[in-house]
Chains A and B, each alone.
Chain A
């Protein structure tokens, strides 16, 4: 297969995974390949990434696609061809390689593991291979093997480091399984189905633990981004009253002619945010994630109040504040310290809104922006549209973020479309959508 068609395959696979690559970038990629040649694979990888990618978040997708389109080799690994590998021998060698932190050996062993234990149907399965080899059970042996280093300070780091090496072995197995399957079944299928989506496109509701950790990392810059955007909007003052003193001061540099006008800076409006979150089990992943965003935001906004509900509303602002050091346990603490549910732990939006209107209505004033987070699944109870409408009437802005796909709204017990008549409802399934929303929600 020629280089241009391989590059085109790479590019179209990237597009399929939501990385916007234009044709001019494809031409750049070809120029890169022309300059670097194909001799050094890692250099080619770095070069193509430089030409094709526009952000670090796209890197994992790129790496996976690159490994399939420009495979490390062909067929089964050399060591696996002429020898028989049993599980014990593989595990022994893996322990030695992990103890020495020998990356090359770990990579080779991943190849052998897939070849010897990863056959599944007509292709290869990383899951199958990892289930047989079970590298996570080797940590203790690796620690014993590397001998603890003689009681130095850094010994206590050993366990975490070994865990990271084990994780890199698992990743190598996944890459190898994709490569072998691509050979057996054709690249196209693997490119379409076996590459994990980038972190900003993972649904909040179905994110697994590792993805959630990645989302968590995405939150911090998002909050900072929001803050800088906000600051920029506040400070732009190129209309309005003229500031005589500063204009005259400036005119000195132009011989007393006031060429550059200075405008009086507007006093910044302080946004106040009230957040109302559904914390029931069905949206737990989403709500926990949003709490993280709130926590990151609390430095930027002078006033932010957070309310949680399942069928009863309780203010949880103080919990979010004191939890600054440790966001992990926030969800658990909220559930143990706040009264969110008086019945059976099923969300009841209507009841929660009534309760809010009765006890916390003063939280919403003319300067407040209200964000409601939830899937609008009321478990068949009365949605109380009128109560919500009155509640939100004084607010400056109100928005509802729904972690479900628009197509699922108003299916089953969801009242999303009816609520959408009272308050603008937005689909907000992943970080990407949240980012766009954050831009739109800013008070201008």
Chain B
């Protein structure tokens, strides 16, 4: 079993992710490098829309490895996450070989041919470099965490009928969580922990200008400042990076080159999604008063 060994240094991480359009902060780049070097899964938490899932995609693109994604949801189970026996095919096989004895049939139907690999098993089998993304792991039930422990701790899967399948190549693993519930300590202990917060103003400007090339520097700077101010207001839903980028696109489509009251009032819906928040923001930014 080999380590993934994708990156040579922290700067290498920054450069190669940037080449794929993902601008990583120092903390993100350092942690990705460590996860790669130490061969540990990476548990990413943070508010919605700061690029948790995007990080896994960028790593996979930057290293030219395949991306295997397990989207967790309430009720996801072993059969959807790990593997499942192809019952229909097994039944067909038994029906087809009517004359043979039970022993022969049993030996035959529990082989890899009848095994349907689900994301976790897919990720650890195969020789090519792999990025495994377990998305929104907090949405899954507690029992699924137990399942993940074996996969993430030792990078192996035990199928009772077949024995233990050990990864030939450790996948680079990213787990994302929105912290809707506490993950168990056992799972956290196996991972490196990374909290991605909203980027600082300078980084966010660069992100906006990378994603929306048509926006000029002054406009990007001022809209990032406004978003920064909104985040400091304790809204029900603080605008995320994705919303900043959307806003930049909207302003570009409206043909704006500077921010003014009317423009902000009209396009506020792009960045603030709750009516309470809209009222609050209008109040704090003196939008209604300036409309006289």
Residues on A lying within 8 angstroms of B by beta carbon are: 20, 22, 24-25, 28, 31-32, 35-36, 40, 42-43, 46-47, 49-51, 53-56, 59, 152-154, 156-157, 160-161, 164, 213, 216-217, 220-221, 224-225, 228-229, 231-232, 235, 253-255, 257, 259, 324-326
Q: Which of A152, A160, A257 has a CB less than 8 Å from the CB of B222?
A: A152
Instruction: Choose from B26, B38, B88, B225 the contact partner of A35 (Cβ within 8 Å).
Output: B38
**Pairwise interchain contact A59-B195, C-beta atoms closer than 8 A:** yes
Contact with A along B6-31 (1 / 0, CB 8 A): 00001000000000000000110011
Contact with A along B165-195 (1 / 0, CB 8 A): 0000000000000011110010011001111
In the assembled complex, the CB of B5 is this many whole angstroms from the nearest CB of chain A, namely: 12
Docked CA distance A367–B30 (Å): 52
CA distance A315 to B193 in the complex (A): 45
B100 adjacent to chain A (CB < 8 Å):
no
- Decide: A224 near B180, CB < 8 A? Known: A31-B38, A46-B27, A59-B195: yes
B260 near A: Cβ within 8 Å? yes
Q: Are B258 and A35 in contact (CB under 8 A)?
A: no
Q: Which of A32, A36, A257, A325 contacts B276 (CB 8 A)?
A: A325
Complex Cα–Cα for A59 and B193 (A):
11
State the CA gap A225–B180 with chains docked (Å): 5
Would B234 and A154 count as touching, CB distance under 8 A?
A: no
Spell out B's residues near A (CB within 8 Å): 10, 26-27, 30-31, 33-35, 37-38, 40, 45, 74-75, 87-88, 91, 141, 179-182, 185, 188-189, 192-195, 197, 222, 225-226, 228-229, 232, 234, 236, 258-261, 264, 276, 279-280, 285-286
Majority secondary structure of chain A interface residues (helix, strand, loop or mixed): helix
A-B contact pairs, 7 of them (CB 8 A): A47-B31, A47-B34, A50-B192, A161-B225, A228-B181, A255-B88, A325-B279
CA distance A170 to B248 in the complex (A): 34
| Given A152-B258, A153-B259, A154-B226, residue A54 in contact with residue B185 (CB < 8 A) | yes
Give the 5 A-B residue pairs with the shortest CB-CB distance, closest first.
A46-B27, A153-B259, A46-B30, A56-B195, A50-B192
Residues on A with beta carbons closer than 8 Å to the beta carbon of B31: 46-47, 50
Question: Which of B87, B141, B234 is in CB contact (< 8 Å) with A216?
Answer: B234
Which residue of B is nearest A326, CB measured?
B280
Given the interface pairs A36-B30, A50-B193, the reply to whether A255 lies near B87 with Cβ below 8 Å is yes
- Collect the chain B residues with CB atoms within 8 Å of residue A157's CB: 225-226, 228-229
Q: A50-B35, A221-B180 are in contact. List 4 more A-B contacts (CB 8 A).
A: A46-B31, A50-B30, A157-B228, A228-B180
Instruction: Give every chain A residue within 8 A of B258 (Cβ-Cβ).
Output: 152-153
B38 / chain A contacts, CB cutoff of 8 Å: 28, 31-32, 35
Q: Is the CB–CB distance between B30 and A47 below 8 Å? A: yes
Instruction: Compute how far the CA of A153 lies from the CA of B87 in the bound complex, rounded to whole angstroms.
Output: 65
- Knowing A46-B30, A59-B195, A325-B276 touch, does A24 contact B189 (C-beta < 8 A)? yes
Looking at the assembled complex, report how far the CB atom of A229 sits from the nearest CB atom of chain B, in whole angstroms.
6
B42 to A, closest residue via Cβ: A50
Chain A residues with CB below 8 A from B30, complex form = 36, 43, 46-47, 50
CB distance from B166 to the nearest CB of A (A): 22
Q: How far is the CA of A56 from the CA of B198 in the complex (A)?
A: 13
Find chain A residues with CB under 8 A from B180 CB: 221, 224-225, 228
Q: How far is the CA of A216 from the CA of B260 in the complex (A)?
A: 32
List of B residues within 8 angstroms of A22 by Cβ:
189
Task: Tell me the nearest residue of chain A to B261, going by C-beta.
Answer: A153
- Of the candidates B26, B74, B185, which one forms a contact with A42 in the assembled complex, judged by CB atoms under 8 Å apart? B26
* Given A36-B30, A217-B234: A229 and B181 interface contact (C-beta under 8 Å): yes
Q: How far is the CA of A32 from the CA of B27 in the complex (A)?
A: 13
CA distance A54 to B88 in the complex (A): 44
Residues in A with CB closer than 8 Å to B88 are: 253-255
Cα-based distance from A257 to B91 in the complex (angstroms): 10
